[in-house]
Structure formats: structure tokens, C-alpha cells
Structure 1
Amino acid sequence: MDYILVGIVALLGSGLTFFSGFGLGTLLMPVFALFFPIDIAIALTAIVHLLNNLFKLTLVGKKASTRTVLRFGLPAIVFALLGAYVLGTLTDIKPIYSYTLYNKLHEITVVKICIAALLTFFSLFDLIPKLKRLEIDTKYLPIGGALSGFFGGISGHQGALRTAFLIRAKLSKEAFIATGVVIACFIDISRISVYAKDIFKLGNQLNYKLLITAILMAFIGAYIGKLFLKKITINTIQVTVGFLLIIFSIFLGIGIL
């Protein structure tokens, strides 16, 4: 049952992530947490997330905008390291509020509220017609990269914030997806380099069969997503991203994610 559940979530999450730029880690980590301690669940999710991004890189990487990758990605790498370092400090701050839902503890934290507020703000630019026509000057991309990398290093929730900036960067749908994948790889490698010592300590605690199942199903989800790429318009992606950002923000803000 555990293999089926993890496989289905990895497949659906990867397919969703192909277009939205976020979702795989958000969906997969809670599922892994059903079977393993939270630290192992985070490690397994991080590994699947990176390998899936590397696989997507082989599918669409050549369409990436080099200029956008550099302007957004380089600050993201630096601030992902900083965020991962700050994470150790923030863990000492007590949650604002805690509650139990279906026998599972959920916590509302300062970091989650900040990210949720930012994502809700950016989602309005994809849903409100007047705001939708606004264009973000490329000079602000480094700021987006810094924010995305920083919060990615802290909590792993970097994809949604990255997408919120890139979706307004005047890229084609192919370039939007490819650029997001390249930057995601940069951030994943950056933050995992900080987490690496904890991952190596897990050793035989890792369930390699379950990990391989998740990786393979995520690959399949990404491949299926690529097949549907030509049928999707950039407007459809914008609207989808807008709604997903709001849903993600709500669940993040109230401590579900």
C-alpha cells in the first residue's frame, strides 16, 4: 500500500509541477512522513525533488532563457545557502499556534505566514485582469531569485515563489518551464549541500525501494507533462498558477503544509 500511495503522489505531483513549477515536494513530503520520521521524510523528498528536476532538465532544459537563469538563479543559489543556515536559528522560535487535525499536529509559524502572504500577493497578478497586464521589469528578477532561494533554504517552499516571479517575466511557455527547471536544480543542489551531512547519517534507514519507486513515478509524471505541453497556452498556465498559489498559500498559512 505504501508503494502505491507514494507512487501515485509522485506521479501526480511531478505532472503538476511540470507546468506550475511547484507541487511535488509539497505533496510528497507529507506522504513520506506517514511512513518515516520527519527528518527521513524530508531527506527522501529532497532526493526525489532534485533527481526529478535533473530529469526534466534533459526534457526541456535547452529552451531555458540563459539571461533569466543568471539574473534569477545566481542570487537564488547564494540566498538558498543563507536560508538553509538561518533555518537552524528559526527552529528555536516557538510556533505562534498549534492544533491537532485528524490526530496530526499542525503548527502555524512566522516563516510560513510570511511566505503565504507573499504568495497570495503575487497570485493576484495572475488572476486580476488589470494586474495581469502589468509586466515585471527584468531588473527585479534578482530580488525574486534572492527571495525564492532564501525561503527555499529555510523551508523548501521555493518553487511557488519562483514561479510567481517567472510567470511575469515575458517568457514563452516553453522558456518559462525550462527556466524554472534550471533554477530549481541550482537551488536544490545548493540547499542539499547544506543538508548533505544529515542525509548521509541516515544510511540504512533509507528505504531505497520506496525511494526508487517515487523517483521512477516522478519521471513518468514529468514525461507525461511534456507530452501535453503543446496543448497548453501561457494564459492557461498563468490562471492555473494563480489559483494554485492561493490554495498553496492558504494551506501553508494555516499550518497544513
Structure 2
Amino acid sequence: MELVLIGFAALLASGLTLLSGFGLGTALMPVFALFFPLPLAIAATAVVHFANNLFKLGLMAQQANWSVVVKFSVPAAFTAILGAGSLTFFDQLPPLWHYSIAGSSFEITTVKAVIGSLIILFALLEMSTRFQALAFPTRWLPIGGALSGFFGGLSGNQGALRSAFLLKAGLSKESFVATGVVSAVIVDAVRLAVYGSVIFVGQLSQAQTLALPVAVGAVCAFIGAFLGKRMLQKVTLRTVQLIVAGAMLGIGAGLTIGLL
């Protein structure tokens, strides 16, 4: 049943990302978090995200603007290490608070409070039409890369910031997408190296159970992207965007207050 739910959620999340504007990692990570400890959920999502972007990279690498990639992705790679390291640091901190509701016990942990708050923040940013129209001058590319890399390493939420900083880089539509894919692959590779050396090794017994769910998630994500593209060519559909954002806000709130 767990595999069925993960596969269905990955297919749905991947398809909806094409229709809502949300990134695959942003929409899929909360689903994994329902079944696995939060650091493992983030790491598992990173594997699916990395595989998905490697496929895109093979198709689009030649269209990337490598000058922009260097300015944006080199800082992102360094701060992704800091973000991924911060995730393991927060996970090791003691619980913040314990409470009970109707005889059931719950606890608020630092890592869930931080990641839940970030899910809420980025869901609100993705919903904001004002933020969607935001674009920073090209001189801010290194700073944008650093911010995108850090939050990518910490929680996987990097797409919204990356787009905001690449929009005014003078790229064609194809080059914009390809440059973003290259940057995402670099950040994913760096954070997976950190996750692999700390999270997967530290929770080896649980990490071994992720192989099949990650494989199912990756395959279903590919199928979902294919079906989503055939269903609708628009990259943003407000109704779908609000549904996805609402689900993310609920999961983010549940993590933050310890219900999930």
C-alpha cells in the first residue's frame, strides 16, 4: 500500500508541477515525509529530482548558457553543502516541545519546525503573483545562486528562487530552462553527496528501505510529467496551483506543529 501511495503521489505531483508551476521536489518531498523520517524524505526526494533532471540535462545541456551557469551555480554548490549540513544539524537537536491531544502524544522537533516553515513559505511565494513577476538584475546572480543552493541543500526548495534570479539574465526560453536544469543538477549532486555521507550512513537500516520507493517514485514521476504535458501545455493553471499550494500548506503546518 505504501508503494502504491508513493507511486500515485509521485505521478500526480509530477504531472501537477507542469500545470501549477511548482517544482517536482517542492511538491513531492512532503509526500515522502508522510512515510519516512524527514531527513530521509528530503534525501529520497533529491534522488528522484536528480534522476529527473539528469534526463532533462541529456536533452538540453547544449542550450544552457554556461557563463550564467558559472556565475550562479558555483556559489550554489558551496552553499548547498552548508544547507545539507544544516539539515543534519537540525535533525540532531532535541525536541522543542511535547504535548498531547485526545490521549495521543506529539512532539515538535527543530528539523520539522524548520522544514515545515520553509514548505509554508515557499508555497506562499509560489502562490504570489507579485513574487512570480519578480526578477533581479544580473549582478545579483552569485547571491541568487548562494540563496538557491542553501535552501536547495536544506529542504530541496530551490526552484522559485532560481527562476527569480535567472529571469533577467537575457536568456531565451530554451536557454532559461536548460540553464536552470544544469544548476539544479549541480545542487542535487552536491547535496546528495552530503546526504549520502551523513543521513544515509547514519540511518542505514531505514535508508535501505528507500530503494524501491525511490525507484517507484522516479518512474511514476517520469510518467506523470509525460501525461501532464499531454493534458495541458500551459505551465500555470491557477486552480491547480491553489490546490497544490493548499496541500503543501497543510503538510507544512502539520510538520511545524508536530502532527506529522
Give me the TM-score of the superposition, normalised by structure 2.
Answer: 0.71
Could you list the runs of 5+ residues in structure 1 that have no partner in the other structure? none
Residue aligning to 1:199: 200
Q: Deviations over 1:192-249 (max 9, x none)?
A: 11111232452673243332221111122334456679x44xxx65989997997698
Note if contact 1:123-1:241 (Cα within 8 Å) is conserved in structure 2: no
Partners of 1:242 and 1:165 in 2: CA distance: 21
1:81 offset after TM fit, Å?
Answer: 0.8
Residue aligning to 1:218: 221
1:178 maps to amino acid: A
2:158 maps to amino acid: Q
1:79 maps to amino acid: T
Shift in alpha-carbon separation, 1:170–1:112, aligned structure 2, 3 A? farther
Note if contact 1:160-1:245 (Cα within 8 Å) is conserved in structure 2: no
Residue aligning to 1:73: 73
144-153 or 115-124: bigger deviation: 115-124
1:118 offset after TM fit, Å?
Answer: 7.6
Note if contact 1:120-1:245 (Cα within 8 Å) is conserved in structure 2: no
Shift in alpha-carbon separation, 1:22–1:180, aligned structure 2, 3 A? farther
Note if contact 1:14-1:222 (Cα within 8 Å) is conserved in structure 2: yes
Shift in alpha-carbon separation, 1:140–1:96, aligned structure 2, 3 A? farther
Residue number among 188, 209, 212 corresponding to 2:212 in the alignment: 209
Question: Among the aligned pairs, what percent are the same residue?
Answer: 44
Shift in alpha-carbon separation, 1:186–1:250, aligned structure 2, 3 A? same
Partners of 1:44 and 1:178 in 2: CA distance: 24
1:52 offset after TM fit, Å?
Answer: 1.4
Partners of 1:162 and 1:172 in 2: CA distance: 16
Note if contact 1:87-1:154 (Cα within 8 Å) is conserved in structure 2: yes
1:174 offset after TM fit, Å?
Answer: 2.5
Q: Deviations over 1:164-214 (max 9, x none)?
A: 333454433333322221111111111111111232452673243332221
84-93 or 66-75: bigger deviation: 84-93
Partners of 1:110 and 1:37 in 2: CA distance: 14
Q: Deviations over 1:16-71 (max 9, x none)?
A: 44577743233333333444444443332222121111112223333322222222
Note if contact 1:119-1:161 (Cα within 8 Å) is conserved in structure 2: no
1:84 offset after TM fit, Å?
Answer: 1.8
Could you list the runs of 5+ residues in structure 2 that have no partner in the other structure? none
Partners of 2:126 and 2:218 in 1: CA distance: 31
Note if contact 2:22-2:126 (Cα within 8 Å) is conserved in structure 1: no
Residues matched between the structures, number: 249
Note if contact 1:11-1:221 (Cα within 8 Å) is conserved in structure 2: yes
Partners of 2:164 and 2:243 in 1: CA distance: 11
Shift in alpha-carbon separation, 1:19–1:165, aligned structure 2, 3 A? farther
Partners of 1:118 and 1:213 in 2: CA distance: 26
Note if contact 2:127-2:245 (Cα within 8 Å) is conserved in structure 1: yes
Note if contact 2:119-2:249 (Cα within 8 Å) is conserved in structure 1: no
12-21 or 52-61: bigger deviation: 12-21
